[in-house]
Chains A and B, each alone.
Chain A
Amino acid sequence: MTLATDIALKPKDFATDQDVRWCPGCGDYAILAAVQRALAKQGIPPHQIATIAGIGCSSRFPYYMATYGFHTIHGRAPAVATGLKVARPDLQVWVATGDGDSLSIGGNHFIHLLRRNVDLKVLLFNNRIYGLTKGQYSPTSELGKKTKSSPQGSVDNPFLPMSLAVGAEGSFLARSIDVDAKTLADVLAAAGAHHGTALVEILQNCNIFNDGAWDHLSSKEFRADQTILLEHGKPMIFGANRDKGIRLNGLRPEVVKIGENGVTEADLWVHDAHDEDPTRAFLLSRMEYPLFPVPVGILRSVQRPVYDALVNAQVDEQKATRKANLQGLLNGRSTWVVG
């Protein structure tokens, strides 16, 4: 098992000597700093951590982390990380990926990772664009988006990563915005502590090819009214004046004003992140701008069997109950002697 150290770690203990090569102003800088802070706080030393990435701007992440690291190939980070985690359950393994990497070319690995519930921490940088290939629409780009590869507007219907993740049986699903340092720190800490696949979608700004894609959520001006911070066990309240809430009408969420039409806090949907039934997590994943405030924080956090632990438990059990005897194995069931 990974052990926290007694020695106090600092964010710079997780920084490498490599020049960070993201574009000036990129949202990735804030995420990198937040992750380094979160890891220092968590207290697991760099040599007990591995950072695995696919391809894309976000996937440069391992080069800037003073942990063990592997910059793999496009879309395949979850698969490489799964093999590593099964082989080395003693390491804490983080995956850095993007909306193109995980939701397009690596979509298959992404869903199967969530289904298996491998103990990996996945940072999904969602900037709704292909940055490294210079600006084509991605699987999270909105319909009608004009890019270099969609001059008349994209006709490609996007999907919502969190809805996909609920359908893929994700056990820990959280969301933050790159510039929301407080929420990001909280969800990263919770992801680090979760046993199983912890998926953190980070709404990230690409200031070169998709600048302002999340401004309606990230700017101080709109954030309070257009996002809602989920807190386990608490009623869903949002708004600059904390006077709006979400009420469940059957299985249909609706925005209500507290104090109007007799609505009180007691009428609001109380967030239960540990609900085994994924139905409400799915409802949360569908809450989209502009009809709803977009949920940030932890949408779902449930415990269920963890793949790498199960694999290693079977190996340990067989080692304990069946004595390995290589010569006997080679001999097989029946032999005969010549000469």
Chain B
Amino acid sequence: MTASATSAKPREVRDSVVIRFAGDSGDGIQLTGSQFSAASALAGNDTATFPDFPAEIRAPTGTLAGVSGFQLHFASRDILTPGDRADVLVVMNPAALAANLKWLKPNGILIANADSFQAKNLKMAGYGESPLEDGSLADYQLFQIDLSRLTNDALQGFGLSAKEVERCKNYFALGLVFWLFARNGEMVEDEIRRKFASKPVMMEANLKVFHAGWDYGENTELFALSYSVPAARDIAPGTYRSIAGNEATALGLVAAAHKAGLDLFYGSYPITPASDILHTFAGLKEYGVRTFQAEDEIAAICAAIGAAYGNQLAVTGTSGPGIALKSEAMGLAVMTELPLVIVNVQRGGPSTGLPTKTEQADLLQVLYGRNGESPMPVLAARSAGDAFDTAFEAARVAIKYRVPVVLLTDGAIANGAEPWRIPDVDSLPTIEPNLLDDAAKLDGGPLLPYLRDVETLARPWIKLGTPGLEHRIGGIEKWDKTGHISYDPQNHHNMVKLRQAKVDAIAAEIPPMHLEGAPEGDVLVLTWGSPYGAALTAVRELQAQGRAVTHANLRWLNPLPLDLGALLLKFRTVLVPEINNGQLVKVLRAAYALDIQQYNRISGQPLSVVELRDAILNVLPH
């Protein structure tokens, strides 16, 4: 039997739906959410997801600290955010309700696992009386489902322990919402068969429970109608898949290595929320990827620098605290002018901060957080799919200019998934590593490891192991051209200027700013990183109301695009929303001496469309 998309009940068509699953971190919420998300994408919806999980791996069951959430926005049009508030909230216990009710729209559908609303769980969640009974949920469409009992009923005769039965209940909930939104269950069934291939009884049990959830929706009188969200039509043609930012980052770098004909070296120390990049790379050895799980963050980047010296595409990845530890070695890469990509998946800070929550507060750290004049190109991805292109670009620039490059993503991009139009490998640009690999290329002249390319100012990347090209590099100031140690005052001045000029020169190849809206007007909303989606959505809403608002996003944070300064002057007001205390604003004010407005909320959560619309309205002329 297959849970199909047919139903005998009336079906209401919706343009877009936001659904939020919440439960204990052991309830399989992330799995449930991502499977629903994948099925929606396969059904042709545009989707955007936001996993919202606790730092604790398994906080005590039933507590507020242990609540894990997964929000999914799926729509029959192009969407850019996981949605501000939910149309549907599925809660597995009272703590999940207490922590997530604030995200549910008035009159939204609330599906509660009624079995779990017992005295002990209610107390842990801070409830006196059960909110299911005391009328406090009157503003919502409340559906009380005895998930545990129904799961248990479905599994009579399977001979499973109570604990094993309890672990199946998320598939009951998933089956029910699949029915509710007319999703095809085949993909889930395949996934269950794959996941439990070695445990036939659990495979059958989960399939049974998934179907039981579907049938419950179809047969019980509780639900009078179901919903459908038709396939989106305004999406660019192509082949799509669902991808999360960390995986996209890894794939972008593997693609760059492939296009450069280089092997890839990834040095990393496990850190939330960047570890999935390491996990992805570890499974890609057939692509010439070597991973080094280092003893610490410093070793991770230093090993990558060693691999860069050894002519591989070298990458290190971490989050903000790791960047702090890598800073000295980042300076070494600047000084030795070696290609290196440094990925920073930003999280809440300072210090340990909020490891599983998102933030954009490392911009100034990566721009300026090193000793000496230590300029480094910095790029930021705006979404999960965009992380592929931005990572590819970071690697291309690192190789072309022989510089360390920082790629910024953040927790929301790293873990959030969205449909991604898969690029044709043949259409990706070739990267020319241009190694100096033969002493004959010196034409009888001396080897000059710091001789500069006229156009890029890049020094040669010398192929190690080549006879006659033995040379020494290091962190001490270099004589230009020869690369010998130099304490000469004028040479140091020249080299500081050269290293800066090399980074500045990259601006010449940054494409013109892409504008969503008119090239002049009342307000320019300028974003970088993950606020892109919410800001663009808010701008589009206001444009539909006839307001003179334009949106632009910066992929390049250093150097800044050459046409940015002139663009800013074309608008009465420039508004920069960021999940920090105003870091890009400081950079722009310093670069252009303009009075730029800022909007900041630093709560570990993505910025919402509603708050950005309000923030724009605030600066629009009344």
A81 at the interface (CB under 8 A from B): yes
Also in contact, A339 and B464, with CB within 8 A (given A72-B332, A314-B285)? no
Interface residues of A in 41-81 (CB under 8 A from B): 45-48, 50, 52, 55, 62-63, 65-73, 76, 78-81
Q: Are B255 and A76 in contact (CB under 8 A)?
A: no
Indicate the size class of the contact surface on chain A. 35 or more
Cβ of B238: which chain A residues have Cβ within 8 Å of it?
Answer: 337-339
Query: Which of B243, B286, B295, B306 has the most chain A CB atoms closer than 10 A to its own CB?
Result: B306
Candidates B285, B296, B298, B424; contact of A319 at CB < 8 Å: B285
B251 at the interface (CB under 8 A from A): yes
Also in contact, A76 and B302, with CB within 8 A (given A91-B465, A319-B285)? yes
B448 at the interface (CB under 8 A from A): no
Indicate the size class of the contact surface on chain B. 35 or more
Q: Are A72 and B474 in contact (CB under 8 A)?
A: yes
Q: Are A88 and B310 in contact (CB under 8 A)?
A: yes
Q: Are B299 and A79 in contact (CB under 8 A)?
A: yes
Q: Are A47 and B263 in contact (CB under 8 A)?
A: no
Cβ of A72: which chain B residues have Cβ within 8 Å of it?
Answer: 302, 305, 332, 474-475
Q: Are A331 and B475 in contact (CB under 8 A)?
A: no
A335 at the interface (CB under 8 A from B): yes
Cβ of A291: which chain B residues have Cβ within 8 Å of it?
Answer: none
Cβ of A18: which chain B residues have Cβ within 8 Å of it?
Answer: 484
A327 at the interface (CB under 8 A from B): yes
Closest A-B pairs by Cβ, 9 of them: A339-B237, A71-B474, A83-B306, A83-B303, A79-B302, A84-B306, A87-B310, A318-B285, A69-B472
Q: What's the nearest-Cβ distance from chain A to residue B291, in Å?
A: 8
Cβ of B241: which chain A residues have Cβ within 8 Å of it?
Answer: 331-332, 334-336
* Cα–Cα distance between A50 and B466 once the two chains are bound (Å): 12
Cβ of B484: which chain A residues have Cβ within 8 Å of it?
Answer: 18
Q: Are A329 and B287 in contact (CB under 8 A)?
A: yes
* Cα–Cα distance between A319 and B287 once the two chains are bound (Å): 7
Cβ of B312: which chain A residues have Cβ within 8 Å of it?
Answer: 87
Q: Are A71 and B476 in contact (CB under 8 A)?
A: yes
Candidates A47, A318, A326, A334; contact of B467 at CB < 8 Å: A47
A146 at the interface (CB under 8 A from B): no
B153 at the interface (CB under 8 A from A): no
Q: Which residues of A contact B (CB under 8 A)?
A: 16, 18, 45-48, 50, 52, 55, 62-63, 65-73, 76, 78-88, 90-91, 108-109, 112, 311-312, 314-315, 317-319, 321-324, 326-327, 329-332, 334-339
Q: Are A67 and B470 in contact (CB under 8 A)?
A: yes
* Cα–Cα distance between A299 and B82 once the two chains are bound (Å): 62
Q: Are B44 and A70 in contact (CB under 8 A)?
A: no
Candidates A315, A324, A327, A338; contact of B240 at CB < 8 Å: A338
Residue of A nearest to B336 (CB): A70
Q: Are A324 and B286 in contact (CB under 8 A)?
A: yes
Indicate with 1 or 0, residue by residue over B317-343, a CB within 8 angstroms of chain A CB atoms: 000000000001100100010000000
Residue of B nearest to A116 (CB): B295
Q: Are A83 and B302 in contact (CB under 8 A)?
A: yes
Q: Are B285 and A70 in contact (CB under 8 A)?
A: no
Q: Are B309 and A70 in contact (CB under 8 A)?
A: yes
* Cα–Cα distance between A48 and B314 once the two chains are bound (Å): 21
Residue of A nearest to B289 (CB): A315
